[in-house]
Amino acid sequence: MKSKLLIGCLAILILSTQTPLLAQHSAVSPDHRHSWWTLRNDAVNERVRQGNVDLLMIGDSITHGWEGGGRKYWDLYYAHRNAVNMGFSGDRTQHVLWRLDQGHLEGISPKLAVLMIGTNNSNGNDNTAEEIADGIIAICKRIQAKCPRTKILILAIFPRAPEPCPQREKNAKASLLASKIADGKMIYYLDINDKFLEPDGKLSKEIMPDFLHPNEKGYQIWARAIEPMVAKLLGKRPFEPLFNGTDLTGWEASGNAKWTVENEQLVGTQGQDNAPGDLFTTASFDDFDLVASYRAEWPCNSGIWFRFQNPNKAYQADILEWKNPVCWSGTLYCPGKMFLAMNTDEKLVNRDGWNTMAIRAKGKNVKIWLNGTQVADVDDDTTDSGKVGFQVHPGAEFGPMKIVVKEILLRPLGK
């Protein structure tokens, strides 16, 4: 009898080791969703298969919104960092787990994954704070298992609702519990929620109109708040704004063009009788990455000066439509040498909307990208340092031209 009992116990033990334990609750049980979600999942997997992925942004509709209200700041901060948006509207922790098992991490080893998930789990009695934290931790462990060299930055679940409420408190508790997995080596935790809230804890519609999803201003706050940590974990120096959105501190005007700040945007127009002018930083820079978001009112002949020492010793990333030779914005101009590289593809220009110009100046090499496409790669030794600026060109044929700059970011490159 004892031998039979022993054999039975051994059989149960063997079966238990061969059968995976079922998850205890929904937040840690990988789950698939509906048709559009599958299509987006396939699209993300296709992007991953192309490789060259350094940064992942993982989450729900709030992260998905980098492709909507946050697009301008995605282009400024992340597009040139080989980033992939893995935000899916409506997702919960269990849906992220499913996606990570279905191709999102295949064949890549990103430097950093930024994770912000859980607010949809907190609806009603769907999940407790402890369960949501379990889901976030499970995602981190899944990333570590599939991409062991990838660092993870957990963001506290963003505040929701006009005022403090039980659901916001549940999310805050879940975030704090999940933060315990952060070891300061491969997993980090950051709470930026105070950046969105008033001193009394209220959430402004000027930042999140529905008290859940950021608008453009909200995404600007998000990008700026995490930039120092993101840059650190990517092993780079952070991008910092050269324009404060309030006044012209740090800038100085030359000539008779008009430079004003309107609605947190830098605006340049011709002066009286179509007079020209420039606006320069008071500081000089040598090697750097620069990214600017701008739009033009046509006809326009403008550009971004860089390494400017004097009118004969400088470079400019042009904002123009030139007829002879035919070229467009993104063309690299150098006084005395004319065009060092020309953008001949008109389709790259968003003529009536916002454009993103990126410039890298390192040693004798200068590269320019317009809206994500490289348009210049030149070696030249005209100047190795100088100021950054904007130009308003003279002439009635360009009047009444206007250049509007939403943001200009710069990070120095190490020697």
Cβ atoms of residues 379 and 371 within 8 Å: no
Q: How far is CA 196 from CA 10, 73, 203, 212, 389, in A?
A: 57, 16, 7, 11, 31
Q: How far is CA 139 from CA 82, 132, 156, 355, in A?
A: 22, 11, 14, 35
Catalytic-labelled residue, pool 122, 213, 293, 302: 213
Q: Active-site residue 104, yes or no?
A: no
Catalytic-labelled residue, pool 210, 273, 379, 381: 210
The kind and range of the H/E element at 280 are strand 277-285
- Map 381-399 to HEC letters: CCCCCEEEEEEECCCHHHC
Angle 166-178/129-146 helices, nearest 10 degrees? 40
Q: Active-site residue 91, yes or no?
A: no
Report the distance separating Cα 135 and Cα 94, nearest Å.
7
Cis peptide before 325 (omega within 30 of 0): yes
DSSP per-residue string spanning 116-128: E--TGGGSTTS--
Q: Active-site residue 329, yes or no?
A: no
Catalytic-labelled residue, pool 26, 29, 61, 204: 61
Cβ atoms of residues 61 and 36 within 8 Å: no
Cβ atoms of residues 302 and 400 within 8 Å: no
- DSSP 8-state secondary structure symbol assigned to residue 92: -
Catalytic positions, please? 61, 210, 213
